[in-house]
Amino acid sequence: MAGSFSNFFGGGKPKRSVPKPPDIARIRQAREPTAGSREAHMAHLQQVQHSVDVAMTPERRELIRRAMEVQRARSKILDDLNDENKRKLYALAIKTLLREDAAD
């Protein structure tokens, strides 16, 4: 009994617990998708692609294309401004929006 107390209070050498190395094979196996999960994933991707194809009519594609062109053009205008003018423009836009909200 005295020996156990001396170990507890620092009289003996402390036992070190060494962590067990990870099981690499098990980790690799967990990362690799199974054939069933791959098939399920591919089926889900095909379903999503089909729903996108149904929702994206030619008119909608053209509308989105034009909207992106407008967005790029507006972005180029702002790219030419220096930081101070960007801050001023931002403040002006916020004030204008707040006035519109107050009027409604």
Region 37-54: mean pLDDT is 85
Which residue is listed with tokens 């101070």?
84
Residue 21 has pLDDT above 70, yes or no: yes
Residue 68: inside a domain, yes or no?
Answer: yes
Q: What is the pTM of this model?
A: 0.36
Residue 63: inside a domain, yes or no?
Answer: yes
Residue 12: inside a domain, yes or no?
Answer: no
Residue 5: inside a domain, yes or no?
Answer: no
Domain containing 40 equals 23-103
Q: What Rg, from alpha-carbon coordinates, does the chain have?
A: 32
Residue 18: inside a domain, yes or no?
Answer: no
Mention every residue, 6+ apart, whose C-beta is less than 8 A from residue 81. 89
Burial annotation 82-92 (CB, 10 A radius, 16+ → b, else e): eeeeeeeeeee
Q: What percent of the chain has pLDDT over 70?
A: 75
How many domains would you assign to the chain? 1
Which has the higher per-residue pLDDT, 6 or 101? Answer: 101
The predicted pLDDT at position 51 comes to 83
Residue 6: inside a domain, yes or no?
Answer: no
